[in-house]
Amino acid sequence: MDFFSLAFRNLQRHRIRSLLTVMAIAVGIFMLYSFWTFNKGYQAGLRRELGNMGAHMLAIAKGCPYEATAMILHGGTITDYLTQDDLVRIRQMPGVARAVGMFMNQKPLGHGKVTVIYGVDEEVFDIKPWWVVRGERRLTGDSVILPEDMAEALNVALGEVVTIPGIDREFRVVGLLERTGSQDDQFVYMPLVTAQQIFDAEGKLTSIAIQVEDLARLQDVVRQVESLPDVQAVTMTQVLGTVETLMTQAQAMVTTIVVVAVFISAIGVLNTVLMSVFERTKEIGMMKAIGGSAADVFAIVWIESIMLSLAGGALGVTGAIVGGRLLEGAARTRLPFVPAGSLIGLDWRIAAASVALSILLGIVAGAFPAYRASVLSPMEAIRSE
């Protein structure tokens, strides 16, 4: 028999009450861990996505920066275009290593779903050298390169003809893009000219991906690009900043909810342990009478509180790791942009920090009940009604 087993047995007296308190802590820690890992995963995913763009900056027609960001990240409809002349001029600018014209637009499929068309030339492989394509890389006429998952979903193999959803035309699948784990797995790649024709935008470009020779001179190139009429340059850092700004408000609200949930669960622990102290006043008096010191009584009650919160913390983290996929799925349906790949997963550092926080909650929440118990006069405690 030691203080830990005594504290554990005390908690077993009111199993349902102890369990409910553990559950309350678990919910708070579940939310904390999920939010924490999601946030971290989101930031990392966003950076990964932008890295996968392969360009240091994009030139687009002047307009809303949020629209531009949305288009860059997951495609979209854009009404203002660049021209082939803009592409030629940018290619001639000093400091520009490579400039690739792109045409991106989408066809609605109903129920909020769309087919995103990506009109590209072979040059796209210069800015995305990590792409692995089975079959042809060269796109001509009515040919497409499909991401493997999409081809599987459309039940089409390399070399076969497919009707692309949203476009009533048949295309031959000349290449299959191996999974990249990024947004690139969502697009249908076809010749630039074909894409322009489909959307009645011959000679128009939605964006020009630019790689610079020297990143230290990125701002020089930005200034040159923006000197072109009706053209704005968006660097990947700006895109990142824009998305993070959009996310900040949502994060602030979620953080508040998480903090409130954790605080409420701490109040729950305090309430449970304090109630238990009141119920055991006579027993505490007896423990002091038979030799228990104030420090001993304090330790026993404190351990009870820490055990409750530790169990809640462990349960919450386990629940978040196991059920994180569900939460991530829910977030994907509600947020305007979520990077591809797993966002909520096992992160030992966050798990350890969450459990440590739950222990801290137990320490803080248990301090007052433990103090109340420790200062009880043994005589008055025994005589209490």
Partner 1 sequence: MKPLILCEKMSKYYRRGSEVVRALHEVDLRVDEGEFLAVIGPSGSGKTTLLNLIGCLDTPSSGSYIFDGKQTAGLTERALGHIRRRGIGFVFQQFFLLPTLTVRENVELPLMFGRARDRSRVEEVLDMVGIGHRKRHLPRELSGGEMQRVAIARALVNNPRLLLADEPTGNLDSANADMVMALFRQLNERGITLIMVTHNMELARQATRTITIRDGKISEV
Contact between 3 and partner 1 per CB under 8 A? yes
Of 176 and 303, nearer to partner 1 (C-beta) is 303
State in angstroms the smallest separation of the CB of 275 from partner 1: 17
Minimal distance, residue 370 CB to partner 1, in Å = 16
Segment near partner 1 (CB under 8 A), from 2-10, 122-130, 248-256, 339-347? 2-10
| The two structure tokens encoding residue 335 | 């947020």
For 235, list phi and psi in degrees, rounded to 5: -85, 160
Q: Name the residue nearer to partner 1 (CB basis): 204 or 288.
A: 288
Instruction: State the helix-helix crossing angle for 236-279 and 65-74, rounded to 10 degrees.
Output: 90
* Minimum CB distance to partner 1, residue 6 (Å): 7
What's the count of helices (H) and strands (E) in the chain, helices before strands? 13, 12
Q: Stretches 241-249, 256-264, 279-287, 354-362: which one binds partner 1 (CB under 8 A)? A: 279-287
Nearest to 178 by CA among 139, 134, 138: 134
Q: What share of the chain is helix, strand, coil (3-state, %, to 5)?
A: 60, 15, 25
**Alpha-carbon distance 49 to 341, whole Å?**
10
Q: Give the CA angle between residues 77, 82, 85 to the nearest 5°.
A: 155
Q: How far apart are CA 313 and CA 33, in angstroms?
A: 10
Stretch that binds partner 1, among 138-146, 187-195, 197-205, 280-288 (CB under 8 A): 280-288
384 forms part of the interface with partner 1 (CB under 8 A): no
Q: Does 370 engage in binding with partner 1 (CB under 8 A)?
A: no
**How many other C-beta atoms lie within 10 A of the C-beta of residue 92?**
10
16 binds partner 1 (CB under 8 A): no
Please report, for residues 28, 138, 212, 262, the alpha-carbon distance to residue 369 in angstroms, rounded to integers and kept in the order given. 21, 74, 64, 19
Distance between CA atoms of residues 217 and 207, nearest Å? 21
10: contact with partner 1 by CB under 8 A:
yes
| Nearest-5° Cα angle at 363, 359 to 364 | 120
Q: Is 289 in the site for partner 1 (CB under 8 A)?
A: yes
Stretch of 5-13, 35-43, 236-244, 347-355 lying at the interface with partner 1 (CB under 8 A): 5-13
Least distance to partner 1 from the beta carbon of 18, Å?
12
| Binding status of residue 379 toward partner 1 by CB under 8 A | yes
Determine the interface stretch with partner 1 among 173-181, 209-217, 281-289, 318-326 (rule: CB under 8 A): 281-289
Please give the residues from 292 up to 331 whose contact with partner 1 meets the rule CB under 8 A.
Answer: 292-294, 296
Burial of 290-318, coded b for 16+ CB within 10 Å and e otherwise, reads eebeeeebbbbbbbbbbbbbbbbbbbbbe
Q: How many residues bind partner 1 (CB under 8 A)?
A: 25
Question: Which of 94, 111, 290, 348 lies at the binding interface for partner 1 (CB under 8 A)?
Answer: 290
Give residue 343's identity as a one-letter amino acid code.
Answer: L
The least distance separating partner 1 from the CB of residue 314, rounded to whole angstroms, comes to: 22
Closer by beta carbon to partner 1, 13 or else 332: 13
Binding of residue 286 to partner 1 (CB under 8 A): yes
Half-sphere exposure of 28 (CA within 13 A, CB side): 30
How many CB atoms sit inside 10 A of residue 186's CB?
Answer: 16
Cα Rg, the chain, nearest whole Å: 30
* By the rule CB under 8 A, 1 interacts with partner 1: yes
Q: Is 134 in the site for partner 1 (CB under 8 A)?
A: no
In the block, tokens 């553990």 appear at 22
Residue 1 or 16 with smaller CB distance to partner 1: 1
Among the listed residues 282, 360, 367, 368, the single contact to partner 1 using CB under 8 A: 282
Contact flag: residue 377 with partner 1 (CB under 8 A): yes
Q: Is 140 in the site for partner 1 (CB under 8 A)?
A: no
Question: Near partner 1 by CB under 8 A, which window of 33-41, 127-135, 357-365, 376-384?
Answer: 376-384
Largest CA distance in the chain: 96
Q: What is the DSSP string of 48-60?
A: HHHHHT--SEEEE
Q: Which residue ranges make up the site for partner 1 (CB under 8 A)?
A: 1-3, 6, 9-10, 12-13, 282-283, 286-294, 296, 377-379, 382-383
